[in-house]
Amino acid sequence: MPDDPHARAQELIARQLVAGVSPEEREWLEHHVAACEACAAMARATEQSIRSLRSIPIALPPGLAARTQFRVYLRAQEAQPGGYRAWVLWAAFALCWMLGVASAPLVWRGFEWFGHWTGVPGLVLKLAFGLWWGVPAAIAAGIWTLERRRVEER
């Protein structure tokens, strides 16, 4: 920030109209403009210039509104829970279940071999086999739930 109070006021006047200033800076500027006629005139001139610029009509390209509406519609479709992401999630879910059903006999034989080799009781093997399929399903359900919450919050 410049040391000169008039330069500081000019900078704050410009910044106030574009990006905003902190309450402390706004208070300092108000006090300075009330006491300094040159800075007050500059503030009025700047404000009048901004008002004049805002009153100038701007011709927009034809079809801009329609294109903007279309883009908003596409973005809304992406954000819906039944959109592309949900389809990919369901396809991955189906593929996992098909592979799980196809590999179940092999996995069970692996558990059975492990049980005979280590002497682990059958009940423990059955519980481990159930967890083998249940834990990934629980993780997938958790991911699906978190994804739905994230989409709903957006």
DSSP letter string over 44-58? HHHHHHHHHHHHS--
Give me the residue spans of the domains in the chain: 5-55, 79-153
Cα 25-4-29 angle, rounded to 5 deg: 25
Q: What is the pLDDT along the chain (154 residues), one digit of tens a residue?
A: 567 888 888 888 888 877 788 889 889 988 988 998 988 998 898 888 888 888 888 887 888 888 888 888 888 776 665 556 667 777 887 888 788 888 888 888 888 888 888 888 888 888 888 888 778 778 878 887 887 787 777 6
Instruction: Evaluate whether 127 touches 108 at the Cβ level (below 8 Å).
Output: no
Closest C-alpha to 9, from 37, 27, 32:
32
Signed CA dihedral, 138, 142, 143, 148: sign only:
positive
